Amino acid sequence: MAERENRNTVEIEEDKHGGVWRLYSSEVMAALIIVVLVIAVAFFVNKFFYGFDLPELSFSEPVVSDQYSGPGKKEKSFVQSEDWRLVLVNRDHPLEEDFDGELTELRYGQSVDSRIYPDLQAMFDEMRAAGLDPRVVQGYRTSEEQKERLDNKISEYMGYGKTREEAWQLAVQWEAEPGTSEHETGLCVDISSDSGDNESANAVWEWMDENCSRFGFIKRYPNNKSSVTGVKGEPWHYRYVGPEAAQEITAGNTTLEEYLGAAR
């Protein structure tokens, strides 16, 4: 009888502990599910509020990582043209001095080198006559403004957990080092539409691609020339080089680097 009572006690004890384990397991699973849900919600909230500010945020290797080690690198064999319209400014060929010419302020506060203004105005007049609504969204920038833009982009990438070096490598794909941006020359413009929507902006860029060379402008950074220019494709960025050079560059499907014999 005692043996049977002992056996019943053991069975009750085992059942009791088994129930506790089952209850504990349920609580752990519930906690894990809550943690996963919290992480997922945080990720999508972060993506919604910040992800769209970083187009193509793939953290892939930079376009020029194997060709460029920092600002100031120059090709010794290249000599700058004496024609002011053909000055080459990029990572390998930084500006030797700050812009000291005359600027013309445009309708929405941007400025350009006064020497390119007549052709820029004539081009915009023709676009508007064709029913388009072009707008210069970026023109001349000082080296201080360029540095601020780059610093902001570096901070943006560091906010995504990148080291400063990693953030710099990614940031220079979108913002040039001070002294290496064409915007510091006053000879280039970033163009979009006045309304800013994708459809009207694309219409402006299509018109520009077909007609801008007549007015002395070229698409400076085509999608298929990143290995030459060191810059990812920018459909909005146009550079003034003068009508003759612009038509030769456009007809030959080349870049300013190739035209000047300074391709990498």
Among 33, 53, 73, give the residue marking a domain's end: 53
The tens digit of pLDDT for each residue in 111-140 reads 999 999 999 999 999 999 999 999 999 999
Active site residue 234: yes
Of 35-44, 56-65, 77-86, where does the model show the most confidence?
A: 77-86
Same domain, 38 and 96: no
Q: Quote the distance between the C-alpha of residue 9 and its chain's center.
A: 73
In a domain, 74, yes or no: no
Q: In sequence order, which residues have a C-beta less than 8 Å from that of residue 113 and are 6 or more positions away? A: 99, 101, 102, 103, 104, 140, 185, 186, 187, 240
Same domain, 43 and 144: no
Nearest to 256 by CA among 86, 104, 12: 86
**Which domain, by its residues, includes 43?**
2-53
In this structure, how many other beta carbons lie within 10 angstroms of the beta carbon of residue 212? 23
Same domain, 112 and 187: yes
pLDDT at 31 over 70: no
Mean pLDDT score of the chain, rounded to an integer?
80
Catalytically annotated residue among 126, 148, 234, 258: 234
Q: In sequence order, which residues have a C-beta less than 8 Å from that of residue 257 and are 6 or more positions away? A: 88, 90, 228, 229, 263, 264
Same domain, 96 and 158: yes
Looking up residue 109, the CATH number of its domain turns out to be 3.30.1380.10
pLDDT at 15 over 90: no
pLDDT the model gives residue 6: 46
Same domain, 31 and 88: no
The tens digit of pLDDT for each residue in 52-77 reads 232 332 233 334 433 444 444 444 57
Same domain, 30 and 92: no
* Gap between the terminal Cα atoms of the chain: 96
Same domain, 132 and 214: yes
Nearest to 209 by CA among 118, 127, 87: 127
In a domain, 72, yes or no: no
The CA distance from 98 to 180, in Å, is 11
Same domain, 17 and 94: no
